[in-house]
A and B are shown apart, each in its own frame.
Chain A
Amino acid sequence: MKNFVYVLFGLLFGFVITKAEVISWFRIQSMFRFEEWHMYLVIGSAVAVGALSVQLLKRSGARSLAGEELDYKGKTFHKGFIYGGVIFGIGWAVTGACPGPIFAQIGAGETPALATLAGALVGAYLYHANKSRLPH
């Protein structure tokens, strides 16, 4: 049942990001070339709504469906946020896809995106195989 809810959330998310075309290589190119504001406005308005919602949830003391306290804990910074972030940014510009959109491109019938996914799995494996040697 729980897993069905996650599939349903993913379905709605995939639908919205596809209709917004944030899964498009062309849109990513236009963003990094500053040719259109679409991507910046999508991300900016998403963060504005997300941040406002979190403030409202915090102030109202809302709890999850299961009655737990909501978990807003962020991630602890290490150097990988910078090094890994830059590496990912390059990959984002090359493939025209960040992780969510890789799956959306596949669902949208862009079969070459299967190569992007295969590469991403190898990349994630290589990170874990080498993480003790990387600066953190």
Chain B
Amino acid sequence: MEWLYEPWTWAVAGPLIGLFVPALLLTMNGKLGISSAFEHLCMMLMPKERHAMFSFNWKDNGWKVYFTVGIMLGAYIATRFFSSTDVAFLPEQYHSLGGVITLFAGGMLVGFGTRYANGCTSGHSIFGLSILQPSSLKATLSFFAGGLLYTLLSSIL
């Protein structure tokens, strides 16, 4: 059982992540996806009069906030009880005021970009590609284009 406490290999983790596609479809007829939870959370934080601006489908996407609560719990359990070492997921420089400002700015790009693109890595790159949807392939290639461009520029400058 020692492997459970080590970081998992792609050969275990990847297929398990893929199984969420049929598991969510079969149980709840739900499509894997997370970024629309941002809209739901925005609406929870804003007065009702302004909810119309989101043109958000509660019936189809309302469950995602519960899903994100679960993600936090799962990550807590994984790191607190199923990890042999303390693993850092963010670099030291982000534990500073400047780092937090950078993360906030980067987070704005994540929130704006995923909603503009109508999906994120789970909705487009996992679910969308699993149903062989060409629009999700275009979105996925754009995600990587943006990330590669930024990484390339930041290593040159």
Closest approach, in angstroms, between the C-beta of B73 and any C-beta of chain A? 5
Interface contact A20-B10, CB-CB below 8 Å: yes
Interface contact B107-A81, CB-CB below 8 Å: no
| Chain A residues with a Cβ closer than 8 Å to the other chain, count | 108
| B13 at interface, CB cutoff 8 A | yes
Closest approach, in angstroms, between the C-beta of A104 and any C-beta of chain B? 4
Report how many A-B pairs have Cβ atoms within 8 Å: 459
Candidates A24, A70, A116; contact of B106 at CB < 8 Å: A116
Candidates B20, B110, B117; contact of A97 at CB < 8 Å: B110
How many residues of B sit at the interface, in one of the four size bands? 35 or more
Q: Report B82-98 residues with CB < 8 Å from chain A CB.
A: 82, 87-91, 94-95
Candidates B34, B79, B107, B146; contact of A123 at CB < 8 Å: B107
Q: How would you classify the secondary structure of chain B's contact residues: helix, strand, loop or mixed?
A: helix
Candidates A11, A21, A122, A134; contact of B108 at CB < 8 Å: A122
Contacts A6-B63, A83-B116, A98-B110 given; does A17 touch B29 at CB 8 Å:
no
A-B complex: 8 closest residue pairs judged by Cβ atoms: A10-B70, A89-B146, A119-B107, A85-B142, A123-B111, A84-B116, A14-B74, A88-B113
List residues of B whose CB falls within 8 A of some A CB: 7-8, 10-31, 34-35, 37-39, 41-42, 45, 53-55, 63-64, 66-79, 82, 87-91, 94-95, 99-136, 138-151, 154-155
Please list 19 pairs of residues, one from A and one from B, whose beta carbons are closer than 8 Å in the complex, sorted by A's number. A7-B66, A9-B70, A10-B74, A13-B67, A15-B74, A21-B87, A22-B13, A47-B130, A50-B19, A77-B134, A87-B113, A87-B116, A90-B109, A103-B71, A106-B72, A107-B74, A108-B78, A122-B111, A127-B111
